[in-house]
Amino acid sequence: MYRGLLRSILFALAPGAAHALALGALGPVEHLASLRALVRAMVSPPRDERIQVRVMGLQFPSPLGLAAGFDKNARRARALSALGFGHLELGTVTALPQRANPSPNLFRLPADRALVNRLGFPNDGAERVAARLGGIRSAMTIPVGVSIGKSRAVPADDLAGVISDYSASLERVSGVADFVVVNVSSPNTVGLRGLQAREHALELLGTLQQRAPTVRILVKIAPDLSDADLDELLAVVEETRASGVVATNTTVSREGLETEGRRVHAIGAGGLSGPPLRARAVQVVERARARLGRQAVIIGVGGIERAEHVVALMRAGANLVQMYTGFIYEGPGAPARIARELVQMIESAGARDLAELVRA
């Protein structure tokens, strides 16, 4: 149903308007427990232990989660959990509330089933988002992570200020999040990706780990790093004893797109997400697993639309995966459908569970 009329209606709207409409439509599900139960019964398959994943001391009913960016302010977490996701990553939030970058800042590339965004972490601020999430935590039945980023008002070259800014966000969200993702890789905040350089990353992550030694901290990394720079950042992750990485963020590359070049050029700057990122995400996950070993947690992100994509990232070394752009193109039934597909793949392969399927 979604891939027909409903998606056509939403895609006739500007992307930002469509997103606001989708969040509005989830409002009744968010606020009525009986409606959430009905949606869960109608949409989500019964939990199947064969696709469960246990990492970081947490139980994930499915390896597929929702990536940061869809619910930046934790306004629809309960509704989204009812759709069949195995976890949610909310945010990205910043210590200081801030508006989006100037519009237009979100674009669809239907020929590539991709998105380009240059939103720049619009959010209500870490304190308000943490309070909102804290008020609903008891109703959440899946693990919830929160992504934190740098406030736009803090200059990227003021490392002490940057660390203080991230620390403030970490302090506010750590009590309500099962894990925290440190986003140093969005291309839409000036100077942010410079924080992936070894000397900056080491001081930032080292400080955050010292201030919150019991918090599960992961680092979100860019797909555009050279192999040498990626290895240096992974060495910092290992050295600071962070829990792991989220691989990857959006890309600034425009190579290999089906969309007409003039259209791509007219859109301009921003992070590209969706299927064009899939192959690079697999490469980065493979390299991260080889460098970090089996103990680190790796969440793979990039172009997830079907169960085969989930398995491919897990075979590359991911413990968990996330989708965002695929959720936009495939609709609210996607997480439950992918969960069913994973069970079917397990049964077709004669495997006992997802772990055995991935090893095959």
Q: How far apart are CA 310 and CA 279, in angstroms?
A: 12
Q: How far apart are CA 329 and CA 343, in angstroms?
A: 22
Task: State yes or no: cis peptide before 248, omega within 30 of 0.
Answer: yes
Q: Which residues are catalytic?
A: 186
Token code pair at residue 322: 């996330």
Place of tokens 């989220």: 246
CB under 8 Å, gap of 24 or more: what pairs does 237-241 form?
237/205, 237/292, 237/296, 238/291, 238/292, 238/296, 239/202, 239/206, 240/202, 240/205, 240/206, 240/209, 241/209
Q: How far apart are CA 245 and CA 217, in angstroms?
A: 8
Which H helix or E strand runs over 182? strand 179-183
Token code pair at residue 174: 């750590």
One-letter amino acid at 78 equals R
Q: Of 163, 160, 156, which is closest to residue 188 (Cα–Cα)? A: 156
Given a contact cutoff of 8 angstroms between Cβ atoms, the answer to whether 327 and 334 are in contact is yes
